[in-house]
Chain A
Amino acid sequence: MTTVGTLAPARPAPFDVAARRAEFPALDQQVYGKPLVYLDSAATAQKPRAVIDAISRFYERDNANVHRGVHALSERATKAYEGARATVARFINAEVREVVFVRGATEAVNLVAQTFGRQRVQAGDEIVVTTLEHHSNIVPWQLLAAAQGAKVVPAPIDDAGDLDLPGLERLLGPRVKLLAVTQVSNALGTVTPIEAVVALARARGIPVLVDGAQGVPHLGVDVRALGADFYVFSGHKLYGPTGIGVLWARREHLEAMPPWQGGGDMIRSVTFERTTWNDVPYKFEAGTPDIAGAVGLAAAIDYLGAIGLPAIAAHEAAVLREAEAALRAVPGVRLIGTPRARAGVISFLVGDIHPHDLATIVDRQGVAIRAGHHCAQPVMQRFGLAATARASFALYSTSGDVEALVRALHAAIKVFA
């Protein structure tokens, strides 16, 4: 009981997971006659009604092309699209002009590699990427390195799946022209000490790209405070639609970078003698953008803002702790990656059951998990594995989901007994 007369610190409203769950229509269904237990949110999150409705409303009422029409609908569509950009900017604490809409984190990395990268990285230079990276934060750098005669150098991780910071620091020599690092590992759930990594690089004048695809849904980001040069994320992992994502870059970089794709909207004037570019960020948005996608992403950000990221993070941390303890109690379970800080993801093996067999069996119990290399083969190689099973969690995950997973794992163990 509270003591009368003391000033209790202000507490956020309790997180009502049942109420939040009810806002996600896709969660309310059965698969194979069992209630769906969706533990694959790291692949893509389910969408709240607010996002689905915002997209429908846009197409039902405001649909028109942006930035050119003078009619009412075009004006509304432009307002919605640019409003979405402003919403993203507030969410990550950026200038509105620094927010470039792209298809997703993958496209954002490719954009940076092919513009900024081509300007900065020359023959003999090095690009450091960590062993934790998703293929989307490795392969674009390999393409750049191959084109420029440069080298991609992997930064090590330890047996827990944490970044080896001293090991990383040793690699940051004078030839390094760029560092690419994830905020959260999609394969292991490792939360990297991103501020420390950025500080190491910036002390040496090395630009840093941070992959926020897995990080932003759980931790959010303040790009000003972070001090990196680029931050990229996908809308669909943040409860928004697929097909929309964000590249944030420091304005001076965006100003100096050449355009990536040519087309409409990215130009100021076109003649056969001389074409001039539009201002940032439009210089990087050739063609009709995913307007409804941007509107949906803004709706997702508004939805998260109303709940509060800290409340979401606290709830997810509690479910993750429960899941980790429950998995450890299952006979034969081995966690792959035991990082100091974890967000969203737990990778594991059960005895010698292949993760694909495991995923198939638990799927028939209604439990959706991922099995495979998670597009992070260097991580798998680091642990001497071809694949892991991965359960990933979101704001709508519950203790009941964890219990269902454990029950399903026991069923799998029985099949392979």
Chain B
Amino acid sequence: MTELTDLYQEVILDHGKRPRNFGPLEGATASAEGLNPLCGDHLVLQVKVAGGKVEEARFTGTGCAISRASASVMTGLVKGKTAAEVDAMFSTFHALVTEGPGAHSDLAALGKLAVFGGVHEFPTRVKCASLAWHTLRSALHGGGATTTE
């Protein structure tokens, strides 16, 4: 059961049940749709980018606790970040969910992302955790040219 409690940490359960930044975003400058064809989970991510930085990010859709918690935590963390900074955070996150916290020399740098340290024990759930990130990057890069002011 310890692996399960690693995966379903209190923070994840809380964000899964009461996701932050959930709902449509007024005045969004870019958006993208994420779909997990394996399970039919579906997520729409909207961002407001100003001055090259994410001013706000919100999401809607259906998903499991892991994917909702991931979207919830992520949309909080990326505020004020540039697309390049978001990419760097994603690399850190991706290494964490595929390889585990052992791969990180500097655990403190993970910050809030550390709660996803249990995902790597569940290879079938990596996609759940990554869906929001892929969708955000698609919104930021796909719409990049039209969103900068």
CB distance A386 to B3 under 8 Å?
A: no
When the two chains form their complex, are residues A386 and B7 in contact, meaning their CB atoms are under 8 A apart?
no
Interface membership of B77, Cβ < 8 A: no
Q: Which residues of A contact B42 (CB under 8 A)?
A: 386
CB within 8 Å for A360 and B39 given contacts A354-B65, A415-B13: no
Rounded to whole Å, the gap between the CB of A112 and the closest CB of chain B is: 26
Cα–Cα, bound, A194→B65 (Å): 39
A1 to chain B, nearest CB (A): 49
Q: How large is the interface on A (under 10, 10 to 19, 20 to 34, 35 or more residues)?
A: 10 to 19
* Contact present for B8 and A373 (CB under 8 Å): no
Known A354-B64, A356-B64, A357-B66; contact A364-B4, beta-carbon cutoff 8 A = yes
Contact A377/B64 with A360-B125, A415-B8 known, Cβ cut-off 8 Å: no
Within A323-374, the residues touching B (CB, 8 Å) are 353-357, 360-361, 364, 371-373
Total interface residues on B, using CB and 8 Å?
21
A-chain residues with CB within 8 Å of residue B16 when the two chains form the complex:
357
Tell yes or no: B1 within 8 A of A by CB: yes
**Which residues of chain B (1-54) have a CB below 8 Å from chain A?**
1, 3-4, 7-8, 13, 16, 38-42
Query: Residues of A contacting B128 with CB < 8 Å?
Result: 356
Given the complex, which residues of B lie within 8 Å of A355, measured CB to CB? 39, 64
Q: Are A386 and B65 in contact (CB under 8 A)?
A: no
**A168 at interface (Cβ–Cβ under 8 A)?**
no
Q: Given known contacts A354-B63, A354-B64, A356-B125, is B4 in contact with A415 (CB within 8 Å)? A: yes
- Give the interface centre of B1, B38, B64, B125 by most chain A CB atoms within 10 Å: B64
A361-B4, A364-B1, A364-B4 given; A356·B39 CB < 8 A: yes
Quick one: which of B4, B7, B41, B125 contacts A387, CB cutoff 8 A?
B41
Q: How far is the CA of A387 from the CA of B40 in the complex (A)?
A: 7
Q: Shortest beta-carbon distance, A187 to chain B, in Å?
A: 12
B64 CB to nearest A CB, Å: 4
Contact A416 B40 (CB under 8 A): no
Contacts of B64 in A (CB 8 A): 354-357
Among B40, B41, B63, the most chain A Cβ lie within 10 Å of the Cβ of B40
Query: How far apart sit A415 and B3, CA to CA, in the bound complex (Å)?
Result: 12
- Interface membership of A380, Cβ < 8 A: yes
Q: Taking A372-B38, A416-B13 as contacts, is the C-beta distance between A364 and B8 under 8 angstroms?
A: no
| Contact assessment for A386 and B13 in the assembled complex, using a CB-CB cutoff below 8 Å | no
Residues in B whose Cβ lies below 8 Å from that of A353:
65
CB distance from A375 to the nearest CB of B (A): 10
B105 interface contact, C-beta 8 A? no
Check B1 against A386 for contact (C-beta < 8 Å): no
B146 surroundings in chain A (CB, below 8 A):
none
Complexed CA–CA distance, A355 and B3 (Å) = 19
Q: Which of A386, A415, A416 contacts B62 (CB 8 A)?
A: A386
Residues of chain B touching chain A, judged by Cβ–Cβ distance below 8 Å, are: 1, 3-4, 7-8, 13, 16, 38-42, 62-66, 122, 124-125, 128
Give 24 A-B contacts (CB < 8 Å), ordered by A residue: A355-B39, A356-B41, A356-B66, A356-B128, A357-B8, A357-B16, A357-B65, A360-B4, A360-B7, A361-B4, A364-B1, A373-B39, A373-B40, A377-B40, A386-B40, A386-B41, A386-B42, A387-B39, A387-B41, A415-B4, A415-B8, A415-B13, A416-B8, A416-B13
Given A377-B40, A387-B40, 4 new contacts (CB under 8 A): A356-B41, A356-B128, A364-B1, A387-B39
